Structure 1
Amino acid sequence: MAELPVLISRPGERAGPLAAAIEARGLPVKRLDVMHLEPLPETPATRTAWLDIDHFHKVVVVSPFAAECLLEALDRYWPQLPMGIDFYAVGASTAALLHRGLGVRVHVPSPSAGEDTSEALLRLASLHALDGQRVLLVAGEGGRPLIAETLASRGARVTRLAVYRRCLLDPDPAMQMWLANGDYRALVVSSGEILEHLARWCTDAALNQPLIVSSSRLATLAGRLGFNFPVVASGATPAALAVAVARSSAPEEADVDHDDLEKG
Protein backbone atom coordinates (compact mmCIF):
# COMPACT_ATOMS: atom_id res chain seq x y z
CA MET A 1 0.00 0.00 0.00
CA ALA A 2 3.01 2.27 0.50
CA GLU A 3 3.19 3.11 -3.19
CA LEU A 4 -0.42 4.28 -3.41
CA PRO A 5 -0.76 8.09 -3.48
CA VAL A 6 -2.78 10.35 -1.25
CA LEU A 7 -5.14 12.40 -3.42
CA ILE A 8 -5.59 16.03 -2.38
CA SER A 9 -8.21 18.40 -3.74
CA ARG A 10 -7.17 21.73 -2.22
CA PRO A 11 -7.12 24.32 -5.05
CA GLY A 12 -4.39 26.68 -6.19
CA GLU A 13 -1.25 27.54 -4.28
CA ARG A 14 -2.72 26.23 -1.03
CA ALA A 15 -2.19 22.69 -2.34
CA GLY A 16 1.59 23.10 -1.98
CA PRO A 17 1.81 23.29 1.84
CA LEU A 18 -0.70 20.46 2.21
CA ALA A 19 1.26 18.24 -0.19
CA ALA A 20 4.49 19.04 1.65
CA ALA A 21 2.97 18.18 5.04
CA ILE A 22 1.79 14.78 3.80
CA GLU A 23 5.01 14.04 1.90
CA ALA A 24 6.98 14.82 5.05
CA ARG A 25 5.37 11.69 6.50
CA GLY A 26 6.80 9.60 3.65
CA LEU A 27 3.57 9.41 1.66
CA PRO A 28 3.34 10.20 -2.09
CA VAL A 29 0.80 12.84 -3.10
CA LYS A 30 -1.20 13.52 -6.27
CA ARG A 31 -3.19 16.71 -6.83
CA LEU A 32 -6.67 16.44 -8.31
CA ASP A 33 -6.86 20.05 -9.60
CA VAL A 34 -10.66 20.10 -9.75
CA MET A 35 -11.26 23.71 -8.72
CA HIS A 36 -9.89 26.96 -10.11
CA LEU A 37 -10.23 30.23 -8.20
CA GLU A 38 -10.42 33.47 -10.15
CA PRO A 39 -10.89 37.06 -8.96
CA LEU A 40 -14.14 38.74 -9.92
CA PRO A 41 -13.99 41.98 -11.90
CA GLU A 42 -14.25 45.04 -9.69
CA THR A 43 -17.73 46.57 -9.64
CA PRO A 44 -18.75 50.05 -8.46
CA ALA A 45 -20.10 48.47 -5.26
CA THR A 46 -16.82 46.65 -4.64
CA ARG A 47 -14.80 49.80 -5.25
CA THR A 48 -17.02 51.76 -2.86
CA ALA A 49 -16.48 49.14 -0.14
CA TRP A 50 -12.70 49.33 -0.55
CA LEU A 51 -12.73 53.13 -0.46
CA ASP A 52 -14.97 53.13 2.61
CA ILE A 53 -13.14 50.40 4.50
CA ASP A 54 -12.28 52.89 7.26
CA HIS A 55 -16.03 53.05 7.99
CA PHE A 56 -16.11 49.40 9.06
CA HIS A 57 -15.56 48.28 12.64
CA LYS A 58 -14.68 44.70 11.69
CA VAL A 59 -13.48 42.88 8.56
CA VAL A 60 -14.09 39.12 8.36
CA VAL A 61 -12.16 37.16 5.72
CA VAL A 62 -13.30 33.62 4.95
CA SER A 63 -10.44 32.08 2.92
CA PRO A 64 -6.82 32.57 1.89
CA PHE A 65 -7.83 33.58 -1.64
CA ALA A 66 -10.26 36.15 -0.24
CA ALA A 67 -7.36 37.46 1.84
CA GLU A 68 -5.18 37.77 -1.27
CA CYS A 69 -7.91 39.76 -3.03
CA LEU A 70 -8.32 42.01 0.02
CA LEU A 71 -4.57 42.65 0.26
CA GLU A 72 -4.36 43.55 -3.42
CA ALA A 73 -7.25 46.02 -3.10
CA LEU A 74 -5.89 47.65 0.05
CA ASP A 75 -2.51 48.04 -1.62
CA ARG A 76 -4.20 49.95 -4.46
CA TYR A 77 -6.52 52.16 -2.41
CA TRP A 78 -4.89 52.50 1.00
CA PRO A 79 -1.10 53.07 0.98
CA GLN A 80 -1.47 53.36 4.76
CA LEU A 81 -3.94 51.05 6.48
CA PRO A 82 -6.67 52.88 8.43
CA MET A 83 -6.55 52.46 12.20
CA GLY A 84 -9.25 50.99 14.39
CA ILE A 85 -10.38 48.03 12.26
CA ASP A 86 -10.57 44.58 13.87
CA PHE A 87 -9.65 41.78 11.45
CA TYR A 88 -11.02 38.25 11.67
CA ALA A 89 -10.13 35.11 9.71
CA VAL A 90 -11.95 31.81 9.48
CA GLY A 91 -8.72 29.78 9.52
CA ALA A 92 -5.05 29.91 10.45
CA SER A 93 -3.78 30.14 6.85
CA THR A 94 -6.02 33.13 6.15
CA ALA A 95 -4.93 34.78 9.39
CA ALA A 96 -1.26 34.27 8.53
CA LEU A 97 -1.71 35.94 5.13
CA LEU A 98 -3.44 38.95 6.69
CA HIS A 99 -0.81 39.28 9.40
CA ARG A 100 2.06 39.14 6.90
CA GLY A 101 0.39 41.49 4.44
CA LEU A 102 -1.01 44.08 6.84
CA GLY A 103 1.00 43.65 10.03
CA VAL A 104 -2.20 43.49 12.08
CA ARG A 105 -3.40 41.21 14.85
CA VAL A 106 -6.00 38.85 13.43
CA HIS A 107 -8.71 37.17 15.49
CA VAL A 108 -8.97 33.49 14.56
CA PRO A 109 -10.55 30.42 16.16
CA SER A 110 -8.17 28.21 18.12
CA PRO A 111 -6.92 25.24 16.07
CA SER A 112 -8.01 23.07 19.00
CA ALA A 113 -11.61 24.17 18.42
CA GLY A 114 -11.93 21.65 15.59
CA GLU A 115 -15.40 21.27 14.11
CA ASP A 116 -16.59 23.72 11.48
CA THR A 117 -14.30 26.74 11.24
CA SER A 118 -17.13 29.16 10.49
CA GLU A 119 -19.01 28.06 13.58
CA ALA A 120 -15.82 28.24 15.65
CA LEU A 121 -15.26 31.81 14.46
CA LEU A 122 -18.78 32.78 15.48
CA ARG A 123 -18.10 31.54 19.01
CA LEU A 124 -15.46 34.26 19.54
CA ALA A 125 -16.67 36.54 22.32
CA SER A 126 -15.90 39.74 20.39
CA LEU A 127 -18.41 38.74 17.69
CA HIS A 128 -21.36 38.38 20.04
CA ALA A 129 -22.49 41.94 20.87
CA LEU A 130 -22.50 43.85 17.58
CA ASP A 131 -25.35 46.35 17.85
CA GLY A 132 -24.90 48.94 15.11
CA GLN A 133 -21.38 47.84 14.17
CA ARG A 134 -20.50 47.75 10.48
CA VAL A 135 -18.93 44.46 9.40
CA LEU A 136 -17.34 43.78 6.01
CA LEU A 137 -17.41 40.10 5.05
CA VAL A 138 -14.87 39.31 2.30
CA ALA A 139 -15.70 36.01 0.62
CA GLY A 140 -16.17 34.08 -2.58
CA GLU A 141 -19.22 34.04 -4.81
CA GLY A 142 -22.01 31.90 -3.36
CA GLY A 143 -21.11 29.79 -0.35
CA ARG A 144 -22.92 29.32 2.93
CA PRO A 145 -24.73 32.34 4.42
CA LEU A 146 -24.05 31.24 8.02
CA ILE A 147 -21.56 33.97 8.98
CA ALA A 148 -23.47 36.88 7.42
CA GLU A 149 -26.83 35.76 8.82
CA THR A 150 -25.48 35.11 12.30
CA LEU A 151 -23.65 38.44 12.54
CA ALA A 152 -26.75 40.27 11.29
CA SER A 153 -28.87 38.50 13.92
CA ARG A 154 -26.47 39.87 16.55
CA GLY A 155 -27.08 43.44 15.45
CA ALA A 156 -24.30 43.97 12.91
CA ARG A 157 -24.77 45.89 9.67
CA VAL A 158 -23.14 43.37 7.33
CA THR A 159 -21.79 44.09 3.87
CA ARG A 160 -20.91 40.87 2.05
CA LEU A 161 -18.32 41.40 -0.67
CA ALA A 162 -17.83 38.59 -3.21
CA VAL A 163 -14.30 38.97 -4.58
CA TYR A 164 -13.72 35.68 -6.40
CA ARG A 165 -15.52 32.75 -7.98
CA ARG A 166 -14.92 29.03 -7.73
CA CYS A 167 -14.86 27.13 -11.04
CA LEU A 168 -15.23 23.36 -10.85
CA LEU A 169 -13.21 21.25 -13.29
CA ASP A 170 -13.55 17.60 -14.26
CA PRO A 171 -10.67 15.40 -13.04
CA ASP A 172 -8.29 14.46 -15.83
CA PRO A 173 -8.65 10.90 -17.22
CA ALA A 174 -5.92 9.45 -14.98
CA MET A 175 -7.56 10.93 -11.87
CA GLN A 176 -10.96 9.64 -12.98
CA MET A 177 -9.45 6.16 -13.23
CA TRP A 178 -7.98 6.39 -9.71
CA LEU A 179 -11.34 7.47 -8.32
CA ALA A 180 -13.15 4.72 -10.22
CA ASN A 181 -10.79 2.00 -9.00
CA GLY A 182 -10.04 3.33 -5.53
CA ASP A 183 -6.33 3.22 -6.38
CA TYR A 184 -5.17 5.56 -3.65
CA ARG A 185 -4.33 5.55 0.05
CA ALA A 186 -6.72 8.34 1.06
CA LEU A 187 -8.67 11.25 -0.42
CA VAL A 188 -8.33 14.63 1.33
CA VAL A 189 -11.20 17.12 0.98
CA SER A 190 -11.86 20.30 2.97
CA SER A 191 -14.68 21.76 0.85
CA GLY A 192 -18.26 20.56 0.63
CA GLU A 193 -18.54 21.84 -2.93
CA ILE A 194 -15.51 19.81 -4.02
CA LEU A 195 -16.71 16.74 -2.13
CA GLU A 196 -20.08 16.77 -3.90
CA HIS A 197 -18.30 17.30 -7.22
CA LEU A 198 -15.85 14.40 -6.74
CA ALA A 199 -18.59 12.01 -5.61
CA ARG A 200 -19.76 11.84 -9.23
CA TRP A 201 -16.63 9.84 -10.14
CA CYS A 202 -16.43 7.70 -7.01
CA THR A 203 -17.47 4.06 -7.37
CA ASP A 204 -17.94 1.63 -4.49
CA ALA A 205 -14.19 1.05 -4.47
CA ALA A 206 -13.55 4.74 -3.81
CA LEU A 207 -16.42 5.05 -1.35
CA ASN A 208 -14.73 2.40 0.77
CA GLN A 209 -11.37 4.16 0.89
CA PRO A 210 -10.47 6.58 3.71
CA LEU A 211 -11.82 10.09 3.17
CA ILE A 212 -10.08 12.80 5.19
CA VAL A 213 -12.29 15.81 5.95
CA SER A 214 -11.71 18.94 8.00
CA SER A 215 -14.95 19.10 10.00
CA SER A 216 -17.83 17.03 11.33
CA ARG A 217 -20.12 18.95 8.95
CA LEU A 218 -18.17 17.54 6.01
CA ALA A 219 -18.20 14.07 7.56
CA THR A 220 -22.00 14.25 7.73
CA LEU A 221 -22.14 15.29 4.08
CA ALA A 222 -19.75 12.47 3.18
CA GLY A 223 -22.05 9.96 4.84
CA ARG A 224 -25.00 11.23 2.83
CA LEU A 225 -22.95 10.86 -0.36
CA GLY A 226 -22.10 7.25 0.44
CA PHE A 227 -18.53 7.50 1.77
CA ASN A 228 -18.08 4.79 4.36
CA PHE A 229 -14.85 5.77 6.10
CA PRO A 230 -14.68 9.52 6.76
CA VAL A 231 -11.87 10.56 9.10
CA VAL A 232 -12.34 13.98 10.72
CA ALA A 233 -9.12 15.98 11.10
CA SER A 234 -8.68 18.38 14.00
CA GLY A 235 -8.87 21.30 11.56
CA ALA A 236 -8.18 22.40 7.98
CA THR A 237 -4.48 23.22 8.38
CA PRO A 238 -1.93 21.17 6.42
CA ALA A 239 -0.52 19.76 9.66
CA ALA A 240 -3.92 18.65 10.96
CA LEU A 241 -4.90 17.04 7.66
CA ALA A 242 -1.54 15.25 7.38
CA VAL A 243 -1.98 13.81 10.89
CA ALA A 244 -5.42 12.49 9.89
CA VAL A 245 -4.01 10.93 6.72
CA ALA A 246 -1.41 9.07 8.77
CA ARG A 247 -4.01 8.05 11.33
CA SER A 248 -6.31 6.66 8.63
CA SER A 249 -3.84 4.03 7.51
CA ALA A 250 -1.31 3.58 10.32
CA PRO A 251 -2.30 4.98 13.74
CA GLU A 252 1.23 4.56 15.06
CA GLU A 253 2.40 7.12 12.48
CA ALA A 254 0.01 9.79 13.75
CA ASP A 255 2.02 10.92 16.77
CA VAL A 256 2.44 14.67 16.47
CA ASP A 257 3.91 17.58 18.33
CA HIS A 258 0.80 19.64 19.07
CA ASP A 259 2.77 22.83 18.48
CA ASP A 260 2.85 21.87 14.80
CA LEU A 261 -0.92 22.11 14.64
CA GLU A 262 -0.70 25.80 15.51
CA LYS A 263 1.37 26.53 12.39
CA GLY A 264 -0.78 25.27 9.47
Structure 2
Amino acid sequence: MAASTPVIITRPGERGDVLATAIEARGHPVARLAAMRLEALPETPEQRAAWLDFDHFRRVVVVSPFAAECLAEALDRFWPQLPLGIDYYAVGTATAEALHRRLGVRVHVPPTAAGEDTSEALLTLGSLRTLDDEKVLLVAGEGGRPLLAETLAGRGARVTRLALYRRRLLPPTPALAERLAAGDFRALVVSSGEILEYLARWCTGAALNQPLIVSSARLATLAGKLGFRAPVVARGATPTALATAVADACDPQEADVDQDDLEKG
Protein backbone atom coordinates (compact mmCIF):
# COMPACT_ATOMS: atom_id res chain seq x y z
CA MET A 1 0.00 0.00 0.00
CA ALA A 2 1.35 3.45 -0.94
CA ALA A 3 3.10 5.47 1.74
CA SER A 4 0.68 8.34 1.04
CA THR A 5 -2.34 6.19 1.96
CA PRO A 6 -3.78 7.81 5.08
CA VAL A 7 -4.73 6.63 8.52
CA ILE A 8 -8.41 7.50 9.02
CA ILE A 9 -9.31 8.97 12.41
CA THR A 10 -12.81 9.66 13.71
CA ARG A 11 -12.20 11.70 16.88
CA PRO A 12 -13.93 15.09 16.59
CA GLY A 13 -12.82 18.61 17.50
CA GLU A 14 -9.63 19.70 19.20
CA ARG A 15 -8.95 16.20 20.52
CA GLY A 16 -8.96 15.01 16.94
CA ASP A 17 -6.43 17.70 16.07
CA VAL A 18 -4.08 16.44 18.79
CA LEU A 19 -4.51 12.84 17.68
CA ALA A 20 -3.82 13.75 14.05
CA THR A 21 -0.62 15.54 15.06
CA ALA A 22 0.54 12.54 17.11
CA ILE A 23 -0.02 10.12 14.22
CA GLU A 24 1.58 12.44 11.65
CA ALA A 25 4.63 12.70 13.92
CA ARG A 26 5.00 8.94 13.44
CA GLY A 27 5.24 9.46 9.69
CA HIS A 28 1.69 8.62 8.63
CA PRO A 29 -0.65 11.00 6.79
CA VAL A 30 -4.08 11.40 8.34
CA ALA A 31 -7.58 11.74 6.89
CA ARG A 32 -10.20 13.20 9.24
CA LEU A 33 -13.61 11.52 9.13
CA ALA A 34 -16.15 13.70 10.94
CA ALA A 35 -18.55 10.94 11.97
CA MET A 36 -20.05 12.71 14.97
CA ARG A 37 -20.96 16.24 16.05
CA LEU A 38 -21.53 17.11 19.71
CA GLU A 39 -24.31 19.61 20.45
CA ALA A 40 -25.09 21.16 23.83
CA LEU A 41 -28.70 20.64 24.92
CA PRO A 42 -30.99 23.47 26.08
CA GLU A 43 -31.13 23.80 29.84
CA THR A 44 -33.90 21.82 31.52
CA PRO A 45 -35.62 22.42 34.88
CA GLU A 46 -33.78 19.35 36.21
CA GLN A 47 -30.44 20.81 35.18
CA ARG A 48 -31.23 24.19 36.70
CA ALA A 49 -32.23 22.54 39.98
CA ALA A 50 -28.94 20.62 40.04
CA TRP A 51 -26.91 23.78 39.43
CA LEU A 52 -28.72 25.65 42.19
CA ASP A 53 -28.12 22.76 44.60
CA PHE A 54 -24.64 21.97 43.34
CA ASP A 55 -23.17 22.36 46.82
CA HIS A 56 -25.32 19.42 48.00
CA PHE A 57 -23.36 16.94 45.90
CA ARG A 58 -20.48 15.07 47.52
CA ARG A 59 -18.97 13.76 44.27
CA VAL A 60 -19.18 14.79 40.60
CA VAL A 61 -18.34 12.29 37.86
CA VAL A 62 -17.73 13.61 34.32
CA VAL A 63 -17.60 11.22 31.36
CA SER A 64 -16.08 13.26 28.50
CA PRO A 65 -14.21 16.48 27.72
CA PHE A 66 -17.32 17.98 26.12
CA ALA A 67 -19.34 17.14 29.24
CA ALA A 68 -16.65 18.96 31.24
CA GLU A 69 -16.99 22.02 29.01
CA CYS A 70 -20.79 22.02 29.35
CA LEU A 71 -20.51 21.65 33.13
CA ALA A 72 -18.07 24.54 33.36
CA GLU A 73 -20.34 26.78 31.26
CA ALA A 74 -23.26 26.10 33.59
CA LEU A 75 -21.30 26.57 36.81
CA ASP A 76 -19.87 29.87 35.57
CA ARG A 77 -23.43 31.20 35.50
CA PHE A 78 -24.50 29.91 38.90
CA TRP A 79 -21.35 29.70 41.02
CA PRO A 80 -18.79 32.51 40.63
CA GLN A 81 -16.88 30.66 43.35
CA LEU A 82 -17.16 26.88 43.50
CA PRO A 83 -18.41 25.32 46.74
CA LEU A 84 -15.92 23.37 48.83
CA GLY A 85 -16.08 19.73 49.83
CA ILE A 86 -16.82 18.23 46.40
CA ASP A 87 -14.63 15.52 44.87
CA TYR A 88 -14.39 15.49 41.08
CA TYR A 89 -13.85 12.40 38.93
CA ALA A 90 -13.12 11.98 35.21
CA VAL A 91 -13.14 8.84 33.08
CA GLY A 92 -9.91 9.84 31.31
CA THR A 93 -7.02 12.26 31.31
CA ALA A 94 -8.46 14.52 28.59
CA THR A 95 -11.63 15.00 30.64
CA ALA A 96 -9.58 15.65 33.77
CA GLU A 97 -7.49 18.24 31.95
CA ALA A 98 -10.63 20.02 30.74
CA LEU A 99 -12.05 20.13 34.27
CA HIS A 100 -8.80 21.43 35.73
CA ARG A 101 -8.39 24.04 32.99
CA ARG A 102 -11.96 25.33 33.22
CA LEU A 103 -12.67 24.95 36.94
CA GLY A 104 -9.23 24.75 38.54
CA VAL A 105 -10.19 21.66 40.55
CA ARG A 106 -8.23 18.58 41.49
CA VAL A 107 -9.60 15.57 39.60
CA HIS A 108 -9.50 11.85 40.37
CA VAL A 109 -8.74 9.71 37.30
CA PRO A 110 -8.79 5.94 36.80
CA PRO A 111 -5.61 3.92 37.16
CA THR A 112 -4.00 3.19 33.82
CA ALA A 113 -4.40 -0.34 32.50
CA ALA A 114 -3.68 -1.66 29.03
CA GLY A 115 -6.83 -1.97 26.98
CA GLU A 116 -9.16 -1.40 29.92
CA ASP A 117 -12.26 0.71 29.43
CA THR A 118 -12.02 3.87 31.51
CA SER A 119 -15.50 3.52 33.04
CA GLU A 120 -14.63 0.14 34.55
CA ALA A 121 -11.22 1.45 35.60
CA LEU A 122 -12.74 4.49 37.31
CA LEU A 123 -15.01 2.25 39.37
CA THR A 124 -11.97 0.50 40.87
CA LEU A 125 -10.99 3.65 42.78
CA GLY A 126 -11.23 3.11 46.52
CA SER A 127 -13.09 6.37 47.11
CA LEU A 128 -15.97 5.14 44.92
CA ARG A 129 -16.42 1.74 46.53
CA THR A 130 -18.66 2.71 49.44
CA LEU A 131 -21.06 5.58 48.85
CA ASP A 132 -23.67 5.18 51.56
CA ASP A 133 -26.39 7.74 50.84
CA GLU A 134 -23.93 10.18 49.23
CA LYS A 135 -25.27 12.49 46.53
CA VAL A 136 -23.38 11.94 43.27
CA LEU A 137 -23.78 13.99 40.11
CA LEU A 138 -23.02 12.16 36.86
CA VAL A 139 -22.47 14.54 33.92
CA ALA A 140 -22.76 12.92 30.50
CA GLY A 141 -24.44 13.06 27.10
CA GLU A 142 -27.70 11.58 25.89
CA GLY A 143 -27.75 7.80 25.76
CA GLY A 144 -24.51 6.04 26.47
CA ARG A 145 -23.79 3.10 28.74
CA PRO A 146 -25.65 2.84 32.08
CA LEU A 147 -22.68 1.17 33.82
CA LEU A 148 -21.52 4.14 35.90
CA ALA A 149 -24.96 5.21 37.13
CA GLU A 150 -26.09 1.68 37.93
CA THR A 151 -22.86 0.71 39.70
CA LEU A 152 -22.69 3.89 41.79
CA ALA A 153 -26.35 3.50 42.79
CA GLY A 154 -25.67 -0.14 43.67
CA ARG A 155 -22.92 1.06 46.02
CA GLY A 156 -25.37 3.23 47.91
CA ALA A 157 -25.12 6.58 46.11
CA ARG A 158 -28.07 8.81 45.31
CA VAL A 159 -27.20 9.44 41.67
CA THR A 160 -28.40 12.36 39.57
CA ARG A 161 -27.53 11.81 35.92
CA LEU A 162 -27.64 14.90 33.72
CA ALA A 163 -27.45 14.68 29.93
CA LEU A 164 -25.90 17.98 28.82
CA TYR A 165 -25.32 17.25 25.13
CA ARG A 166 -26.36 15.04 22.26
CA ARG A 167 -24.29 13.16 19.70
CA ARG A 168 -25.29 13.59 16.07
CA LEU A 169 -23.91 11.00 13.66
CA LEU A 170 -22.74 12.24 10.26
CA PRO A 171 -22.23 10.18 7.09
CA PRO A 172 -18.73 10.09 5.58
CA THR A 173 -17.99 12.40 2.67
CA PRO A 174 -18.17 10.61 -0.71
CA ALA A 175 -14.37 10.45 -0.88
CA LEU A 176 -14.06 8.87 2.57
CA ALA A 177 -17.00 6.55 1.96
CA GLU A 178 -15.13 5.32 -1.12
CA ARG A 179 -11.96 4.77 0.92
CA LEU A 180 -13.91 2.76 3.52
CA ALA A 181 -15.58 0.64 0.86
CA ALA A 182 -12.26 -0.08 -0.87
CA GLY A 183 -10.20 -0.55 2.28
CA ASP A 184 -7.99 2.24 0.95
CA PHE A 185 -6.41 3.28 4.26
CA ARG A 186 -3.49 2.19 6.42
CA ALA A 187 -5.59 1.94 9.59
CA LEU A 188 -8.90 3.12 11.02
CA VAL A 189 -8.83 4.65 14.51
CA VAL A 190 -12.06 4.56 16.56
CA SER A 191 -12.52 5.16 20.29
CA SER A 192 -16.34 5.19 20.39
CA GLY A 193 -18.60 2.16 20.15
CA GLU A 194 -21.38 4.28 18.69
CA ILE A 195 -19.13 5.52 15.87
CA LEU A 196 -17.75 2.03 15.26
CA GLU A 197 -21.23 0.54 14.83
CA TYR A 198 -22.25 3.42 12.58
CA LEU A 199 -19.23 3.25 10.26
CA ALA A 200 -19.37 -0.53 9.93
CA ARG A 201 -22.15 -0.17 7.34
CA TRP A 202 -19.67 1.49 4.93
CA CYS A 203 -16.95 -1.11 5.49
CA THR A 204 -16.75 -3.94 2.98
CA GLY A 205 -14.56 -7.03 3.22
CA ALA A 206 -11.47 -5.08 2.16
CA ALA A 207 -11.95 -2.56 4.96
CA LEU A 208 -12.74 -5.24 7.53
CA ASN A 209 -9.32 -6.76 6.88
CA GLN A 210 -7.43 -3.52 7.50
CA PRO A 211 -6.05 -2.68 10.98
CA LEU A 212 -8.67 -1.19 13.29
CA ILE A 213 -7.21 0.68 16.26
CA VAL A 214 -9.52 0.79 19.30
CA SER A 215 -9.05 2.14 22.79
CA SER A 216 -10.35 -0.76 24.90
CA ALA A 217 -10.91 -4.49 24.97
CA ARG A 218 -14.66 -3.82 25.04
CA LEU A 219 -14.43 -2.06 21.68
CA ALA A 220 -12.28 -4.87 20.28
CA THR A 221 -15.00 -7.36 21.23
CA LEU A 222 -17.61 -5.18 19.53
CA ALA A 223 -15.37 -4.91 16.46
CA GLY A 224 -15.14 -8.69 16.22
CA LYS A 225 -18.93 -8.97 16.32
CA LEU A 226 -19.17 -6.41 13.50
CA GLY A 227 -16.79 -8.41 11.31
CA PHE A 228 -13.51 -6.52 11.74
CA ARG A 229 -10.73 -9.10 11.54
CA ALA A 230 -7.71 -7.11 12.71
CA PRO A 231 -8.60 -5.06 15.81
CA VAL A 232 -5.63 -3.69 17.74
CA VAL A 233 -6.19 -2.57 21.33
CA ALA A 234 -4.24 0.56 22.23
CA ARG A 235 -2.98 1.16 25.75
CA GLY A 236 -5.78 3.62 26.39
CA ALA A 237 -7.56 6.44 24.58
CA THR A 238 -4.84 9.10 24.77
CA PRO A 239 -3.35 10.45 21.53
CA THR A 240 0.03 8.94 22.42
CA ALA A 241 -1.45 5.50 23.07
CA LEU A 242 -3.49 5.51 19.87
CA ALA A 243 -0.61 6.84 17.76
CA THR A 244 1.70 4.17 19.16
CA ALA A 245 -0.83 1.47 18.29
CA VAL A 246 -1.10 2.88 14.76
CA ALA A 247 2.68 2.75 14.37
CA ASP A 248 2.83 -0.82 15.69
CA ALA A 249 0.07 -1.94 13.31
CA CYS A 250 1.37 -0.13 10.24
CA ASP A 251 5.09 -0.69 10.81
CA PRO A 252 5.29 -4.08 12.58
CA GLN A 253 8.92 -4.62 11.59
CA GLU A 254 9.96 -1.33 13.19
CA ALA A 255 7.96 -2.20 16.29
CA ASP A 256 9.80 -5.54 16.53
CA VAL A 257 13.15 -3.77 16.24
CA ASP A 258 12.18 -1.28 18.93
CA GLN A 259 11.11 -4.10 21.23
CA ASP A 260 14.38 -5.95 20.63
CA ASP A 261 16.32 -2.80 21.46
CA LEU A 262 14.33 -2.39 24.69
CA GLU A 263 15.01 -5.97 25.71
CA LYS A 264 18.73 -5.58 24.99
CA GLY A 265 18.82 -2.38 26.99
Q: Into which bin does the TM-score normalised by the smaller protein fall?
A: over 0.9
Taking every aligned residue pair, what percent have the same amino acid on both sides? 74
Output the amino acid matched with 1:230. Answer: P
Q: Deviations over 1:130-150 (max 9, x none)?
A: 001000000000000000000
Measure how far apart 1:113 and its partner are.
5.3
Deviations along 1:187-223, one digit per CA (max 9) or x if unpaired, are 0000000000000000000000000000000000000
- The residue aligned with 2:218 is 217
Contact 1:213–1:230, Cα closer than 8 Å, also in 2: yes
Q: TM-score, normalised by structure 2?
A: 0.94
In structure 2, distance between residues paired with 1:185 and 1:253? 15
What SS class does the counterpart of residue 34 from structure 2 fall into?
Answer: coil
For 1:131 and 1:253, the matched residues in 2 are separated by 51
Q: 2:164 — aligned with what?
A: 163
**Moved segments of 4+, more than 2 Å:** 110-114, 251-256
Segments of 5+ residues of structure 2 without an aligned counterpart are 260-265
Contact 2:11/2:190, CA 8 A, preserved across alignment: yes
SS at match of 1:100: helix
Aligned-residue Cα RMSD (Å) equals: 1.2
8 Å Cα contact 2:208-2:227 kept in structure 1: yes
Give me the whole-angstrom Cα distance separating, in 2, the residues matched to 1:214 and 1:201: 21
Match for residue 185 of structure 1? Answer: 186
Question: Do 1:11 and 1:36's aligned partners in 2 also have CA atoms closer than 8 Å?
Answer: yes
Residue 75 of structure 1 corresponds to 76
Taking the aligned partners of 2:254 and 2:55, their CA distance within structure 1 comes to 48
Check whether the contact 1:57–1:134 (CA below 8 A) recurs between aligned residues. Answer: yes
On the 8 A contact 1:92/1:111 being kept in 2, the answer is no
Classify 1:18/1:152 alpha carbon distance in 2 versus 1 (closer, same or farther; 3 Å). Answer: same
Gaps of 5+ in 1: 257-264
Residue identity opposite 2:160 in structure 1: T
1:1-150 matched pairs, under 5 angstroms: 1-112=2-113, 114-150=115-151
For residues 145 and 93 of structure 1, what CA distance do their matches in structure 2 show?
Answer: 21
Provide the TM-score with structure 1 as the length reference: 0.95
2:46 partner SS: helix
1:104 deviates by 1.4
Q: Quote the offset at 1:224 in angstroms.
A: 0.2
1:261 alignment partner in structure 2? none
Q: Deviation at 1:14?
A: 1.7
Deviation at 1:13, TM superposition (A): 2.3
Shift of 1:102: 1.5
- Whole-angstrom CA distance in 1 between matches of 2:120 and 2:106: 20
Give 1:100 shift.
1.4
Does the CA-based 8 Å contact 1:113-1:120 persist in structure 2?
no
Q: Which one has the largest radius of gyration?
A: 2
Question: Superposed, which structure 2 residues align to 1:169-248 within 5 Å?
Answer: 169-248=170-249
1:209-260 deviation per Cα after TM superposition (whole angstroms, max 9, x unaligned): 000000000000000000000000000011100000001011354559xxxx
Give the residue type in structure 1 aligned to 2:133: G
Q: How many residues align?
A: 256
